[in-house]
Amino acid sequence: MKNNKTLYWIITGLFAAFMLFSALPDILTVPDAVTLMNHLGYPKYFIPFIGVAKLLGVIAILIPGYPRIKEWAYAGLLFDLIGATYSQISIDGFKPQIIIMVLPIAFLVASYFLYHKKLQTVVSA
For the segment 54-71, the average pLDDT, to the nearest whole number, is 96
What's the pLDDT at 119? Answer: 85
What's the pLDDT at 110? Answer: 97
SS3 94: coil
pLDDT over 70 for what percent of the chain?
96
Domain ranges of the chain: 2-124
Whether 50 contacts 26, CB under 8 Å: yes
What's the pLDDT at 125? Answer: 56
For 79, the enclosing helix (H) or strand (E) is: helix 67-92
Instruction: Enumerate residues 6+ apart whose C-beta is below 8 A from 56.
Output: 73
Q: Is the pTM of this model over 0.85?
A: yes
DSSP code of residue 47: H
| Res. 22 pLDDT band, cuts 50 70 90 | very high
Gap between the Cα atoms of 29 and 111, Å rounded? 28
Gap between the Cα atoms of 58 and 56, Å rounded? 5
The per-residue pLDDT for range 68-124, each reduced to its tens digit, is 999 999 999 999 999 999 999 999 999 999 999 999 999 999 999 999 998 887 666
Whether 108 contacts 22, CB under 8 Å: no
The DSSP result for 22-33, as a single string, is HHHHHHTT-HHH
For the segment 53-69, the average pLDDT, to the nearest whole number, is 96
What's the pLDDT at 13? Answer: 97
